Structure 1
Amino acid sequence: MATQTAEADLGQQPVKGRSLWADARTRFFRNKAAVAGLVALILICLFAFFGEFLAQYERAYVDFSLMGRNAVNGVPSIETGHYFGTDESGRDLYARTVQGTRISLLVGLVGAGVAVIVGTLYGAIAGYMGGKTDNIMMRTVDILMSVPYMFVLILMLVIFGRSITMLFIGIGLISWLDMSRIARGQTLSIKNKEFVEAAVATGVRPFTIILRHIVPNLAGLVIVYSTLLVPQMIITESFISFLGLGVQEPSTSLGALISAGAGQMRYGVLWQLLYPLFFFVVTLFAFFFVGDGLRDALDPKDR
């Protein structure tokens, strides 16, 4: 009798449920590639923002004794303090790689942030309003997407000056178009839900509904897209810097370092290309793996 009572008590114990984010976190950490990408991304961020404390030389310091002889005397060495060697001007490549990685990450994060914020709000407004407003806003997006964005970015840098701030703004403002289309499509499926209809019935203003009910329900999609958008921003910045229109001296980025290193290959100075290229490739793959892991973890069809 006591055993039956104990079994009945055990059967009546409440079962703890799992939230959406807890379930997504569990699924994400089961993905080995995503976890490896996250670890690599954390290490790269630590290198970019704290690696300068290990540098023996300032990034703008020029060792004139190594100019023209860096292929022999400027090789990577722990004893001399030039961990990654020196560039063609006798500057410490380690310190410049730290700065280049930091600037490339900032360009990717800030550019993706601008694109996600502008694109999400624009697409959510267009999808919720519908009708002529939606038609006008999305036809505007179609027209803008027909213009080569790289040409627009180069034109902006030539007209308004080549600076990091202009690079942030330019990359972000021309990369929100795809996000707006994605956000609009999701908004069309959300705006007819019961919680939105309840907010409309209680007299909540449309813009408040968009901010409080529509945009929060796009959070999963926005997070996934932003992690996949950051490497695209880094590639764009690197290409612009490779052309000489991006970050200007004495500052640098991974694209500028790769461009300078490619020009030194004919002199046998391979380390000037390999070190920046290594951090560039690892950063891109880390973001792609993390983005794929988040997409799988937040996809309701895979549960």
Structure 2
Amino acid sequence: MFGVKTPKSGRARRALEKRAPKLVETGKKTLILHGTKTSGVLNAVLTEIYHMKRGSSVKFSRKNENIKPFESGGETSLEFLSQRTDCSIFVFGSHSKKRPNNLVMGRTYDHHIYDLVEVGVENFRPIESFKYDKKLAPQIGSKPLIAFIGEAFENVEELKHLKEVLLDLLRGEVVENLNLVGVDHAYVCTAISSNRVFLSHCGLRLKKSGTKVPRMELEEVGPSMDFVVRRHRLPNDSLRKEAMKTTREQPKKKVKNVSKDEIQGKIGKIYMPDQKVGDVALPNLAKGVKRERREAKLKNAENRHASKKQRENST
């Protein structure tokens, strides 16, 4: 019952290796779920989030009655689905009289609930309500620019927590180098009050500025909505400390007799033992060399024979 199951095929083994912990983690996937009851506005919001996260999100359309993230025992099904789909971020939508158009966003650590933020959606405007140039539509795989406007994101604990969750939700895969052409849209989050945030999605239009760096203009392409913070739950200190652990990268093994130069590049040294030339076996000589030696030998013999006859005649 508690035995460890080993993969029986190469496909299963590669899938487990892909989900295993890595020194440099890949981009986080988002799980989008529906509650027992949802409204038309909430269904549209979840669909828009799925399109914004296209390629790195999984959306389930079936209703989930057992998922209640803030209640004890209500996160079991959510953690199971997170592990099954290999998603570390989730967005859960539900609608009730007490909490209309309710949206719960959270993160998981080792497929267990890490933290939660509950917001209410108001003043929602879908993409269809905006008139803009279709060329400004964001491309799949492009990196967004995320701007947080307002001091409340640094002073208010609820908005500070919401900022962390939104960054993980919207930023996509972390990269070191970025081409300016690859930044084609922006998310602007404005803190209107201590518990209300206005989120808008804008396209970036590059224009001539007379310098090497172009001038950027923002044009709203949708969707846009207001987030009213209702509840939030921070991770406890022990879980946060465990999740923040980092592993030092293993140093590369030093290669002997190899050095690098900025101009010549990679340089290697070769050490040769002392060679005894006299003991080196020579290869077979060519036929032409043998013929020349044979002719020279015959000529020397003839010369010696002629000189011998000449000495005899002189005596």
After TM superposition, the score normalised by the length of structure 1 is 0.20
Q: Which has the higher helix share?
A: 1
Q: Which has the higher strand share?
A: 2
Greater C-alpha Rg? 2
| Larger RCO, structure (CA 8 Å, separation 6 or more) | 1
